[in-house]
Structure 1
Amino acid sequence: MSLEKILSISGKPGLYKLQTQTRSGFLAESLIDGKKINVSGRHNVSLLSEIAIYTLTEEVPIREVFSKISEKENGGAAISHKEPKIKLEEYFFEVLPDYDEDRVYPSDIKKVIQWYNLLQKNEITDFSKPKESEKETSSEEE
């Protein structure tokens, strides 16, 4: 599974896998505990594939940040998101040396590391960008 169907829902912990569309929104399954929830239009939802991290020169898609963490850890889990702030910042600096320290807060770093570890735990490790032809085919099928 790619990041195209993984969601972050504000006010809800962790990440969710998009299951199906309903009349009032959609059904999502938690990657933490597997519980399914109904998500309505009033929730603020972000696709993981659309999130980016600020650097000094550009915005780097989160999939690239995850790929760099995966390279650093040889495909394994990253450090715990519960480490002290300074340790998380040092770790993130090793992964993405030119991240914008003024716009990327420690809470953002904590969330990225937590998300990466959650994806690893659920064996969602394909951080490559989907090919344009795959995107077109899937949208044509719908």
Structure 2
Amino acid sequence: MSETAEVRADTQFEFITFSAGGQNYCLEITQIREIRRWTPVTALPHTPADVLGVMNLRGAVIPIFDLAARFGLGATPANERNVVIVAAMDGTTIGLLVESVSEILSVEKSAIQETPDIKSEATRHSILGMISVDDTMVRVVNLEAVLDAGKGVSL
């Protein structure tokens, strides 16, 4: 690999963009394992409202989170047009119910702006940064915050 290609790889990030709660978000492409159509899940008793239940993914049982509900944007009405983003981090795999997946976004590290300080610890923990795309802002989701939610940590 040339030196220029190595520098580009260090400063270039790829994200999958999606919509949840009518808002635009993204995750680093390296965190996403697959994107699946919505199918009903198995509910579990005493789970938080943003945990829809579990799904069998090729023999592994994974929790499914409603990302819009997790972020306080109301529940996503589950229907066949929605998708589940299967994401993994540190050996833990989860599913995120979202309204739709949009595109792959390649950006330079310098294009990722800091999350504004709005005096909300939950926002700072959940959103790693902001990317301006055309006339919209895309929020970079902190998958670790979503995983923490699955372990009973409240944002």
TM-score, normalised to structure 1, is 0.26
Larger strand percent: 2
